[in-house]
Each structure stands twice: as structure tokens, then as C-alpha cells.
Structure 1
């Protein structure tokens, strides 16, 4: 697990592991080579009622970026895709900001704010996100008196970058297209098999 995700609360890490297990996403970035020619496929296995729920979830990801981010499975899948493009820091920063806004303790808020800044915002940060100089300086100033909204501008610009750049590529990737095709087929099969037979006319 990357060092950044290690800073998340244990409950978040446990949920992430659970989602990865449920989805069956196998993403071995360290094994990717220049001749792979694309993204590792997301492999999934789901049965009975879970299959229908997961199918609806996957197909909903292409409706809007908001729906993707609001889906726990979608976030896991999108993060796996971003790892293949070596740009997972954008989503990790966005997630860190979402968790940051939930903090109620002023002391913890200040501590976490500086940790996020050092991890993602400052020059030469280990997970430096792609934001302009003005936004970087504004965020630095905000840290002088940290509030729940001190990363809002930087988070918004990072989100826009993902929505306009990475998200369209995710939807066009062989991994997502194959997954969507499989879920559509599974949904159609499930629907047809559960439909009542038409009454015969004598």
C-alpha cells in the first residue's frame, strides 16, 4: 500500500481492502512494462443480488464524474486506473481533503492540514499535485490559520483536472469498457431469466 493511503484512518483502509476484494481488481503496477499496450483489466465476480447492484454501479460511472466519485467501488476502480498512469496522487489528495473536512478538533485539523500540505502541495512534495503557483501560495497562506476549507481551491482545481483529463480516458480504457460490457451482459441475462413467461393463448 502506498505511503499516502497509510495516513488514512484504519476504518478507511479496511473498507478499501474490502472493496478491492469484492471487485477483484488486480492491478500490479510494479509489473507493468512498456509492452503491455494498455491497462490491466479489472476482474470482478459477484453473484445473485450483489451482481445486479454492482452492474448498476459500474454502468452509472459513465453518467457523470460525480457519480463515479460518490461510488465507493468507483473510487477504487478509478484509483487503480490512475496508478497505471502514475497520477494517483490527484485522487488521493481529493480523498484526503474529503476526510480532512470531517475533522472537528482544531488541534487535529491543524496537524492534518500541515501533513496534507507537505505530502501534496509544497514544492518537491512526495505526491505533489499539478496546481498553479497562485493556488499553491494561497493554500500556504491558508495554513497560517487552518480551517476545514483551507484546501478548497486546490482540491477544486485537482478535481477539475481529473474530470477533464483522466476521467474521459478512464471511460475509454479497455479495462472499463470490458467491465461495462460484462456488467451489461450479466444484467441482461439476469433480467431475461427472471422475467415471467408470457401466458399461452389457446
Structure 2
């Protein structure tokens, strides 16, 4: 697992640089215009930021893990960071559980429950999350009569793992620190500018 830039393998360092570059471009474009295109999967997040500016959003991610998870921009940034550590399956599982809870069809619920279990929970699953044996067995038992809460224990443990382990490293990462510095400077600049400057026509 990649912990610091000094110990990053080349491929991991490249991913970290890509993350930093993409988010830097995202910040720049979101401040200039919400109509600017061509920033891949981050573009939709900009258009959904209605109550807070992107700069305020970025600075808020360090306030709490809940704040980060409730921010579309934050989730996208955190996912990009987790990819540099090869642990994105934890967040993907958490997000899959959130979507799972919205299903109302019993047939679809059962089908989706087995799909999530096979992808994230069973031993040697393609995106196996780090949970204990008891939680894995409990989740397997819950699938016999799938409900919207059958993944609650596993989701909770995965969330705690991210909050205690990955989240602090995300906040200390050069990519986030640089982005936060840019956001802070942008926010300060905006608050110091006059709301109505004289026209020079």
C-alpha cells in the first residue's frame, strides 16, 4: 500500500499526480464557469454544487468524514485518492450499499444483494473489502431473506475503516493539501473583492 510520496512506486506516483492535476483543473474551471466542458467524471459534480462554492466545499472536507461523504465533489476526490492506494473497493462498496437501500422491488433487492455479496463480501471476491469472518458470515445469513438493512453491519465496519485509516491520509496527502491551499486562496480572494466595482467604460 502506498503511504507517502517518497515510497510510491512509479505507477502509484503517476496516479497521485493525475489526481492532483485533474482536481486542480476542476477547481480552476469551476471557478471560471460552470459551462466549461471536458473535465470527465468531475464535471457533473460541479453542476450539482448549488449551495456552496467548490472552494468552500473543498475546505469543508476536513471538518468531518460525514461532510466528505455528503459532498459529490468530496466522494469523487476521495475515490481518486483511494485509487492511488489501491483501496477504492471500500468506498465503492459503501456507495453500492447506499444505492441498494433505495431499491423498493423485493425481486430486484434480492438480485442486487447477491450481486453486491459476490462482488465485495465473499472470500476472494474481485473487490473484496476488509471485514472480519463473523461479519462476512452474518451478511451471508442475511441474504437468505434480503432486506435493505442486510449489509448494514458490513457497511458500518467498512465506513469506520475508511474514517480511521484512509480519511486521515487523504487529508494529509499532497494532492488534497495543495487543493485546499488553492481553495483557501480563491475563497479569500473572493471575500476580499468588492461586490460592485466601478465600470471602466
Alignment of 1:1-202 (within 5 A): 33=10, 36=13, 39-40=16-17, 41=20, 42-43=23-24, 44=26, 45=28, 46-47=30-31, 53-194=53-194
Unaligned residue ranges in structure 2 (runs of 5+): 1-8, 35-45, 47-51
How far, CA to CA, are the matches of 1:38 and 1:163 in structure 2? 22
How far, CA to CA, are the matches of 2:147 and 2:80 in structure 1? 31
Normalised TM-score (structure 2): 0.77
- Superposition RMSD on alpha carbons, in Å? 2.1
* Deviations 1:47-80 (CA, angstroms, capped at 9, x unpaired): 2586971011000000000000000000000000
Paired residue secondary structure (1:194): coil
How far, CA to CA, are the matches of 1:135 and 1:152 in structure 2? 10
Q: Please state how far the C-alpha of 1:191 moved relative to its aligned partner.
A: 1.1
Unaligned residue ranges in structure 1 (runs of 5+): 1-31, 198-202
Deviating 4+ runs (over 6 angstroms): 49-52
Q: Please state how far the C-alpha of 1:193 moved relative to its aligned partner.
A: 1.2
Q: Please state how far the C-alpha of 1:36 moved relative to its aligned partner.
A: 3.1
How far, CA to CA, are the matches of 2:65 and 2:15 in structure 1? 22
Check conservation: 1:121, 1:136, Cα contact below 8 A.
yes
Cα distance change of structure 1 residues 146 and 174 upon mapping to structure 2, 3 Å threshold: same
Check conservation: 2:89, 2:127, Cα contact below 8 A.
yes
